[in-house]
Amino acid sequence: MPATATQSPVRTTCPYCGVGCGVLATPLENGQATIAGDPAHPANAGRLCSKGSALGETLDLDQRLLHPSVDGQAVDWNTALDDVAGRFRRVLDSHGPEAVALYVSGQLLTEDYYVANKFAKGGLGTGNIDTNSRLCMSSSVVGYQRAFGEDVVPGCYEDLDVADLIVLVGANTAWCHPIVYQRIRGNQRQRKAQVVVIDPRRSATAEEADLHLPLAPGSDVALFQGLLAFLEHNGHLDYRYLEAQVSGFGEALAAAREQGASPAAVAARCGLGAEDVARFFQLFARTDRVVTLYSQGVNQSSAGSDKVSAIINCHLATGRLNRPGTGPLSITGQPNAMGGREVGGLASTLAAHMGFDEADRVQRFWGSLAVARQPGLKAVDLFEAVHAGRIQLIWIMATNPVVSMPDADRVREALLRCPNVIVSDCMANTDTVATANVRLPAEAWGEKDGTVTNSERMISRQRRFLPAAGEARPDWWMVAQVAQRLGMEGFDYETTAEIFDEHARLTAFENDANGRIRQLNLAGLVGQGAQAYAAMAPRRWPILGPEDRARPFADHPFSTDQGKARMQVLQPRAPAHPPNPDYPLVLNTGRVRDHWHTMTRTGKAPRLGGHRPEPTVDVHPQDARSLSLFEQDVALIESRWGRALARVHIDTGQRPGSVFVPMHWNDAVSSRCRIDAVVNPVVDPDSGEPEFKHTPVRVRALPAAWYGFALSREALAADAGGPRDTAPAYWVRARGPAFWRMEFVSIDEHLSPEDWVERAKVWLGGERDEWLQYVDARTRQGRIARIRDGRLVGCLFVAAGPARLPDRGWLGGLFAKPALDEADRRGLLAGQSPDPGADPGPQVCACFGVGRQAIVDAIAQGCGDTDAIGARLKAGTNCGSCLPELRALLAAAG
Ligand SMILES: Nc1nc2c(c(=O)[nH]1)N[C@H]1C(S)=C(S)[C@@H](COP(=O)(O)OP(=O)(O)OC[C@H]3O[C@@H](n4cnc5c(=O)[nH]c(N)nc54)[C@H](O)[C@@H]3O)O[C@H]1N2
Ligand SMILES: Nc1nc2c(c(=O)[nH]1)N[C@H]1C(S)=C(S)[C@@H](COP(=O)(O)OP(=O)(O)OC[C@H]3O[C@@H](n4cnc5c(=O)[nH]c(N)nc54)[C@H](O)[C@@H]3O)O[C@H]1N2
Ligand code: SF4
Ligand SMILES: [Mo]
């Protein structure tokens, strides 16, 4: 019987990407909730992508961290907090404030973030608080500060609805910001806006662009400098705007001019076709309403800040910002990357968009606390200081650096060496939690309460709709408790409303002193009271009164000394570590559609496990040939820093010489698929943001002896030692509907099919159940199925080659059957679906579980567009995240 709702829907915000979609969550009797898009939220108007739609599947308590513990012993909160305070006291007394650090996250709420930042920079008096936004947004922060004198995103999503040209640079928006992408697509279809995608690989986003420029990795500065020179040479600059609003343009233009304005020369430098570059330059020159939206292909680079400046230069030189449909728009990754920037969570900023040169002002506001006077260490340097023992205590909150930092094995080593590692997380089994001395259970989404700011400066409420799990507590509460135990004043908060109010007051505090206005100003929310905070509708800052301003600089000077924006003098430079004979390929990394970061939450949702059940290394056919790599091989990817495994996928969308691997897989769900162990720790000199998109690597196939997979109703323990200790070299676990899935490859030639039967019994358990089994030593095949009361409970298949394995989709379907029939049993033994045509193939639509084959069939039967496919199969009709793939299948069918 379906569970019934216990109350009316709660308005909250999705905890994943920076689009910041509004969610209606309706709690159910059974502790779960139904999830729907909030039609009243301006960011999404009721839509949700695949990840947002599946939020209801992530709420169970499986793998939750429920109790505090110290050195592996469960303790009560008092003991845990006393212990943490004691550790701080000892390190502060013996080594001073520079020996302690916090490493926090854009997934904290603004209230958590404000308290953590105040604790570090005010209470402890150290700048050593950095955040995973260092890995994400810090190059954009530098770019905006350089240009505008303040970290302000000048535009908003509405600009994407009315622009005539949208340039997406280093952004796979279709997969990473799907609801914003749907707005872009809407404009492309209805208003015929042109979409240009600049990305070395043909991503899902690039597939649907009017023009795709697969530039050489890292050559963005050369491309945009070339564009600037072209615009000047052909008389497309807005000199009136430049004279009135911009400084430094003479030098900036001279530097661009040196690069030459000819599209052919620029194309040669960027590894592009001259005609494509000319088309892009002309489109940009001819179109007034241009938005350039960019993300990690720009930020995560040893030239990240310059890439941002090169884009902003082109907008300033043409006066294309601060008007509807124009502007440079960095899209933020995490739900509260912006909120973190607002409170000053980066080691390089102080608080409320004030720098360390304004420490006196912050000191006046924070009163008795001794405010830090120097910036702290940025993430990569911070973990290096932990490794070297200069930092003796680190408190990590809401981030998983053992998986997400570059040179990740060294980060793990640093944490294992550090005597005081405190981790607050809502999950128990992360690779970072495994290194902690003290584990603190944090409230998860649905339990916690506060605010987040999305990519367009819109502040929305995240509201509680579930009780806290176990003994979980809010992050701000833990920090405030420790601060109070250390005798710090100003941490006796009782509610998030109070904290938000203090943050709002700081943004307004002495704002406009000496004529310098900080655009981040929430004066209009100061003193609003708990009720108004509870009911707060989404608002976009600056918030000075009841009306919001969509464009902060439209009628105000920039936040620089003279009130003018500043163009930058730039010189293109090559990525820090070019490929070389030992490591001839470029490793590019990023995201897949249905997983979020280190998978601690999306890994729980059955419907999100089917789209990409394994990490792939995507290789161009040409490279695959020269490296003797074949589809479905398992490859070892090695760099000077480390190694990782992934399944080979041959992909014509790759740029030859580059391979792409997703960042999500980790040691909790796979064997050595943590790609960040391979990534070089090079950073941008100004922002400190790591070069995640460019590491020289070599790739070779594992000498596989056995390929196999297992499906089971119960969780599978791949690393459980089996007979003869035959743990496979490569394994990956994923969640499917009604079953767990594990894919594996073994390099052990001595194993026989019978050994696999033994192993299957260990993995699948249940000695007493009925077993179906078939082994053939000659053709090297093994098939085994466990059946209880006529139902399939688990199965395992092995073969000498990947093509000899049966389809997972058909087998997955058997788990849904109340009883197997004779044909099913014969199929299990034969390793083949009794009706091969019924094989659904890999999952495309996560919402309705529609496989590739059904879509291909529907197209063959006359469905000519996505609407027709939707009408027949429902695929693509809910969240729309699979629409690019549906269109690709339509295009492939011709
Ligand atoms: N599904 C999903 N969505 C997410 C997330 C997630 O984990 N999963 N995470 C969120 C977060 S925190 C973030 S930061 C965003 C990231 O969102 P995106 O930045 O859109 O995603 P990425 O896949 O990291 O990288 C984007 C593209 O940069 C390209 N690129 C690599 N090198 C270069 C280069 O030199 N120049 C150019 N122009 N492009 C290059 C890559 O090929 C890749 O397609 O996504 C957010 N949304
Ligand atoms: N190779 C490669 N590496 C990358 C990137 C890349 O493109 N390529 N991208 C980088 C980028 S842009 C980012 S943003 C990072 C993201 O990397 P991480 O921040 O390390 O990834 P998450 O999995 O989001 O980690 C969040 C953790 O916080 C926990 N958590 C969730 N909510 C809460 C909460 O409210 N409180 C607490 N205390 N814990 C919570 C989750 O269970 C999880 O363990 O990865 C970076 N690393
Ligand atoms: S686009 Fe998807 S992941 Fe991002 S906020 Fe909206 S629903 Fe959440
Ligand atoms: Mo990010």
Query: Which DSSP symbol is given to 818?
Result: S
Q: What is the pLDDT of residue 2?
A: 58
pLDDT band at 150 (very low <50, low <70, confident <90, very high): very high
Give the mean pLDDT of 609-637: 96
Q: Is the pLDDT of residue 890 over 60?
A: yes
Sorted by where each begins, the domain ranges of the chain are 10-58, 69-136+336-492, 140-330, 585-701, 706-838, 843-892
Give the pairing of strands 706-712 and 791-799: antiparallel
CA distance 415 to 384: 10
Residues, the chain: 894
The Cα–Cα gap between 812 and 789 comes to 18
- Asked if residue 597 has its Cβ within 6 Å of ligand 1, the reply is yes
Short-list 311, 289, 284, 285, CA closest to 298: 311
pLDDT reported for residue 736:
85
pLDDT per residue over 737-772, tens digit each? 888 999 999 999 888 888 888 888 888 877 788 999
Query: How many angstroms separate the alpha carbon of residue 227 from the centre of ligand 3?
Result: 33
Distance of alpha carbon 497 from alpha carbon 505, whole angstroms: 12
Instruction: Please indicate whether residue 729 or residue 108 has the higher confidence score (pLDDT).
Output: 108
E-assigned strand segments in 307-382: 327-330
Query: Given this model, what pLDDT does residue 704 score?
Result: 93
- Whole-number pLDDT of residue 723: 40
CA–centroid distance, 570 to ligand 1, in Å, is 24
Distance 592 CA to ligand 1 centre (A): 9
* Nearest CA owner, ligand 2 atom 47: 404
In whole angstroms, give the CA distance from residue 539 to residue 675.
38
Number of Cβ atoms within 10 Å of the Cβ of 701: 15
The CATH architecture that domain 843-892 belongs to is Orthogonal Bundle (1.10)
Q: How far apart are the first and last CA of the chain?
A: 45
Residues whose CB is less than 8 angstroms from the CB of residue 280 and which lie 6 or more positions away in sequence, other chains included: 167, 196, 211, 213, 227
Ligand nearest to the CA of 673: 2
Q: Which residues contact 488 (CB under 8 A, 6 or more apart)?
A: 119, 122, 123, 369
Shortest-distance atom of ligand 3 to CA 17: 4
For residue 467, the CA-to-ligand 2 centroid distance in Å is 24
What topology is assigned to 140-330 in CATH? Dimethylsulfoxide Reductase; domain 2 (3.40.228)
pLDDT on residue 726: 56
Q: What is the percent of the chain where pLDDT is above 90?
A: 84
Number of neighbours of residue 118 by Cβ within 10 angstroms: 31
Nearest C-alpha neighbor of 436 from the set 469, 486, 401 = 401
Q: SS3 for 401-459, per residue?
A: HHHHCCCHHHHHHHHHHCCEEEEEECECCCCCHHHCCEEEEECCCCCCCEEEECCCCEE
Nearest to 18 by CA among 201, 157, 225, 159: 157
Q: What is the arithmetic mean of pLDDT over 826-853?
A: 84
Residue pair 99/316 in contact (Cβ under 8 Å)? The answer is no
DSSP string, 641-675: S-EEEEEEEE-TTSPTTEEEEES---TTTBSS--G
What strands lie across the sheet with 770-776, from one edge to the other?
A: 730-736, 739-746, 706-712, 791-799, 781-788, 770-776
Tens of pLDDT, residue by residue over 868-887, are 999 999 999 988 889 989 99
Measured distance CA(654)–CA(214) in Å, rounded:
9
* pLDDT one-digit tens code per residue, 220-241: 999 999 999 999 999 999 999 9
Counting ligands in written order, which one lies closest to the CA of residue 36? 3
> Under a CB-based contact definition with an 8 Å cutoff, are residues 492 and 534 in contact?
no
Q: Which ligand is nearest to the CA of 436?
A: 2
Structural class in CATH, domain 585-701: mainly beta
> pLDDT digits over 400-419, tens only?
999 999 999 999 999 999 99
Tell me: pLDDT of 803 over 90.
no
Q: What is the percent of the chain with per-residue pLDDT over 70, rounded to a whole number?
A: 98
The C-alpha R_g of the chain, in whole angstroms, comes to: 27
What are the φ/ψ torsions at residue 366 (nearest 5 degrees)? -85, -5
Whole-angstrom distance, CA of residue 891 vs CA of residue 880: 17
In this structure, the number of other CB atoms found within 10 A of the CB of residue 28 comes to: 18
Nearest ligand 1 atom to alpha carbon 203: 44
Position 808, amino acid: R
DSSP letter for 336, please: T
Q: 69-136+336-492, what's its fold?
A: Rossmann fold (3.40.50)
Spell out the residues 6+ positions from residue 549 whose beta carbon is closer than 8 angstroms to its own. Answer: 540, 542
CA 797/CA 477 separation, integer angstroms: 50
Compare 721 and 331 and report the one with higher pLDDT: 331
Instruction: Tell me the C-alpha distance between 487 and 661, whole Å.
Output: 47
Cβ neighbours of residue 870 under 8 Å, at least 6 residues apart? Answer: 876, 877
Q: Is residue 430 within 8 Å of 418, Cβ to Cβ?
A: no
pLDDT value of residue 718: 54
Overall average pLDDT of the 787-811 stretch = 91
Rounded Cα–Cα distance for residues 92 and 105 (Å):
24
Range in 153-162, 393-402, 578-587, 852-861 the model is least confident about: 852-861
Sheet holding 100-104, edge to edge: 73-74, 69-70, 438-441, 420-425, 393-397, 100-104, 129-131
Show contacts of 786-790: CB within 8 Å, 24+ apart.
786/760, 787/820, 790/818, 790/819, 790/820
Q: Is 367 left (phi over 0), alpha (psi -120 to 50) or beta?
A: left
Residue 172, pLDDT above cutoff 50: yes
Distance (Å, rounded) from C-alpha 682 to C-alpha 244?
39
As a whole number of angstroms, the distance between CA 192 and CA 202 comes to 21
| C-beta separation of 46 from 496 below 8 A | no
Three-state secondary-structure class, residue 467: coil
| Closest ligand 3 atom to 48 CA | 7
Q: Which pLDDT value is given to residue 843?
A: 86
Cα gap 259→222, rounded to integer Å: 8
From CA 466, how far away is CA 61, in angstroms rounded? 12
| Mean pLDDT for the stretch of residues 804-813 | 88
CA distance 679 to 641: 7
Summary mean pLDDT of the chain: 94
Burial call 57-73: b when 16+ CB within 10 Å, e when fewer: bbbeeebbbebbbbeee
| CB contact at 8 A, 644 and 408 | no
Give the residue, out of 24, 38, 48, with the most ligand 3 atoms within 8 A of its beta carbon, to mutate for a pocket test: 48
Structure tokens at 532: 């108004």
Which of 445, 597, 666 is the best mutation target for the ligand 2 pocket, counting ligand atoms within 8 Å of the beta carbon and taking the most? 597
pLDDT at position 722 is 41
Q: Which ligand minimizes its atom distance to the CA of 454?
A: 3
Ligand 1 contacts CB of residue 198 (under 6 A): yes
Which helix H or strand E contains 811, and what residues bound it?
helix 808-815
Q: What is the CATH number of domain 10-58?
A: 2.20.25.90
Residue 727 clears pLDDT 90, i.e. is over it: no
Half-sphere exposure of 89 (CA within 13 A, CB side): 13
* CB of 352 closer than 8 Å to CB of 504: no
Confidence at residue 717, expressed as pLDDT on a 0 to 100 scale: 65
Surrounding ion ligand 4 within 5 Å at CB are 136, 333
